[in-house]
Amino acid sequence: MIIVLKKGCKKKTVEAVIKKVKELGFKAHAIVGVERTVIGAVGDDRDKHLLSALEAVPCVEKLVPILQPYKLASKEIRREPTVVKVDGACFGGGHFGVIAGPCSVETEKQIVETAIRVKKAGARMLRGGAFKPRTSPYAFQGLEEEGLKLLAAARKESGLPFVTEVINPEDVELVGDYADALQIGARNVQNFALLRRAGKFGKPIVLKRGMSTTIQEFLMSAEYVLSEGCKNVILCERGIRTFENATRNTLDISAVPVIHERSHLPIIIDPSHATGVRNYVPPLCFAAMACGADGIMVEVHPDPQKALCDGPQSLRIEDFAALVVQLRKLSKFNGKKM
């Protein structure tokens, strides 16, 4: 941590700050510049939040942290990539996992048919919402436990493991007992009670980035889950909120190399929610594969016009099958296993 003092601090003030830094258990090194004095505080990083109290000291202009605040999610803890396996689906370390399915579970026929057909087309995991976070209290909120049962039926018929969203900490056990992996949605990326409970449950977690979450905050949310003992976290970039409105959100494709540089966790792309437009999904899946992402999560519906939510962004099953064929061709470029 670097502590920048205000212009014109007297020597006595500088010494008082140094004393304070030392009291907090750090070593202090002052650098007297032409216009400013800065103090470097050296010590165990985990305790650096103690130093943040210094920001309220009148002569302190600002604190500049030097280290990233996450540990377990960082490469400093683990150099080699984490491979998350959910049944036959693998993410990370050269594996490109493909998750497909409808926004919402609607009927047994819909989800079972989708599961069988996306499996055949090349998907390795099924997705489908049973508990839906909806902006409007009047919109369809999902089939809840009935939806979980239908997902389990689809798994039985297709052999695909499934991931589904949990939105309430109280439902973690309920959802977790049915599902192969738990999804924590964009709106809940800083729902810390949910992160903790899901982390404790232990099943793999697909953690979606929030609309306005920085990559650092995103990794801090993963840290919450990891700190509860869960080791299998799949990060999912699904677009951030910007001024651009040609797409529903703005896919931050750079998050892939940034996260690969900072973390050992796999990072996948959800181009369906990022854009909200079906036609943009295939090119962004290709971009994801080419830049080294560890998988994709795409919305597929047997009849998008009848979907109860997010129809315009859902691929038809035949489109999805064509997409997988293209992705397999593309995977030769970097040797990703699908």
103-162 residues in contact with a copy of itself (CB under 8 A) are 133-140
Taking the least distance from each CB to a copy of itself, the nearer of 158 and 221 is 221
Amino acid at 66: I
Element (H, E) at 268: strand 267-269
Give the nearer residue to a copy of itself in terms of CB position, either 74 or 158.
74
Q: Per CB under 8 A, does 305 bind a copy of itself?
A: yes
CA distances from 168 to 88, 176, 209, 321 (A): 28, 12, 17, 34
Torsion from C-alpha of 254, 270, 88, 123, nearest 10 degrees: -130
Point out which span in 83-91, 107-115, 117-125, 308-316 binds a copy of itself (CB under 8 A): 308-316
Q: Of the candidates 47, 34, 37, which has an alpha carbon nearest to the alpha carbon of residue 1? A: 47
Q: Which residues pair with 85 in a beta bridge?
A: 90
* Dist. CA 319–CA 324, nearest whole Å: 9
Mutual angle of helices 215-227 and 255-262, in 10-degree steps: 50
Tell me, rounded to whole angstroms, the distance of Cα 95 from its chain centroid.
Answer: 17
Scan residues 48-87 and list those touching a copy of itself (CB under 8 A): 49, 52-57, 64, 66-67, 69-70, 76
Nearest approach in angstroms of CB 116 to a copy of itself is 22
Q: Does 261 bind a copy of itself (CB under 8 A)?
A: yes
Selected binder of a copy of itself within 6, 149, 153, 227 (CB under 8 A): 227
Compare residues 160 and 219 and give the one whose CB is closer to a copy of itself: 219
In angstroms, give the least distance from the CB of 283 to a copy of itself: 4
Could you say which residues in the range 14-53 bind a copy of itself, by CB under 8 A?
29, 31-36, 38, 40, 42-46, 49, 52-53
Q: Count residues contacting a copy of itself (CB under 8 A)?
A: 106
